[in-house]
Amino acid sequence: MRRGVVPEQSLNDYESTSAQMITITGKTNLVGLLGQPVNHSLSPIMHNAAYEEMGLDWCYIAIPCDKKNLKQITTALRLIEFKGLNVTIPHKQEVLKACNKLTLIANNIQAVNTLIPEENNEWLGANTDLEGFLAPLKHHDLIKKNVVVIGCGGSARAVVMGLNNINVKKITVIGRNENSLNIFIQNMQKLLQKSDMVINGINSKNLSVTPYIEEADLIVNATPIGMNSKTNEEGSIPLGQETWKNLSSKTILYDLIYTPRPTDWLKLGKQKNCLTIDGLDMLVEQGALSIQLWSGFKDVPIKIMKSSAEKHLMV
């Protein structure tokens, strides 16, 4: 077997990096993220920064996982006593099958982003996206306001349920696929039977969305359009540049995406003097809530989690 030779320079780099690394011992507890892909995730950075600050001998790793292996992998990680798991795209709904119990929120949303170990090698499924999404909105009064949500996938479910909790008046969900939009609206209407909030679906392929955009107090992008190099046929701006021509400066734009920072859509919003919110606070808050659920500690160093993620984004 041919062995590689490490040049002197790289060896120095290695030594200086390893000096800053956490020490993993035989007692270190493991936690992690399941998704596909996970190599660009900020979660290992911000979680490990939190554990170091909290003095927890825990280590968080990103685990790439195909849909076909999800059940086997979650079972195996429970057997080797992982302290907890986060779940991301595209498994938040599929992972319900690996849960023996669900929290009320996860059951309502029918999506799980946090697995908590239970007795008998079982997993309890929870969802911290809803509270994470609401965290950056807590200083804005959205009672009886009009909201537009673009996209009707997994995170849109947490967004709609969260907006219902803060008593908005009306949500218009914009989708591009008639079938998934109809299913989404029907499911949400069933869940929100007792609520005064109105929820409607608009297919952007059949109807003009401009009137809904113009009357909105808050618009949430819950699609991946604008993320890294992901674009749709109109470019990197949800619904295309033309849609935003008459956007009011009073409208708040909230993009669930946190990389790039800002997205092209939020740049456009800033040019129109709108208040803009990106997805980093949501990411940090949902992660901090997961740590609370796994560790039982209420005091999670949110500021350290955010600054470690920001530093990493700048590299």
Alpha-helix residue ranges (DSSP H) falling in the chain: 8-20, 43-54, 70-79, 104-109, 129-134, 154-165, 178-191, 210-215, 264-271, 280-295, 302-314
User: In the bound complex, what is the minimum distance in angstroms from residue 37's beta carbon to ligand NAP?
Assistant: 11
78 vs 238, beta carbon nearer ligand NAP: 238
Any bridge partners for residue 236, and if so which? none
Q: Give dist(CA 235, CA 240) in Å, integer.
A: 7
User: Of the candidates 116, 148, 156, 252, which one interacts with ligand NAP according to CB under 6 A?
Assistant: 156
92 is catalytic: yes
Tracing tokens 């939009």 back to the chain, one arrives at 181
What is the pattern of x (binds ligand NAP, CB under 6 A) and - over residues 129-148?
x--x----------------
Nearest Cα to Cα of residue 28 among 93, 90, 83, 107: 83
Does 167 sit near ligand NAP (CB under 6 A)? no
CA torsion angle for 190, 88, 274, 195 (degrees, to 10)? 20
Rounded to 5 degrees, φ, ψ at 35 are -175, -175
List the catalytic residue out of 92, 145, 170, 306.
92
User: In the bound complex, what is the minimum distance in angstroms from residue 277's beta carbon to ligand NAP?
Assistant: 10
User: In the bound complex, what is the minimum distance in angstroms from residue 255's beta carbon to ligand NAP?
Assistant: 8
Cis peptide before 260 (omega within 30 of 0): yes
Residues 206-265 that bind ligand NAP (CB under 6 A): 222-225, 227, 232, 256-258
Does 86 sit near ligand NAP (CB under 6 A)? no
Residues catalogued as catalytic: 92
Residues lying near ligand NAP in the complex (CB under 6 A) are found at 89, 129, 132, 151-156, 175-177, 180, 222-225, 227, 232, 256-258, 279, 282-283, 286
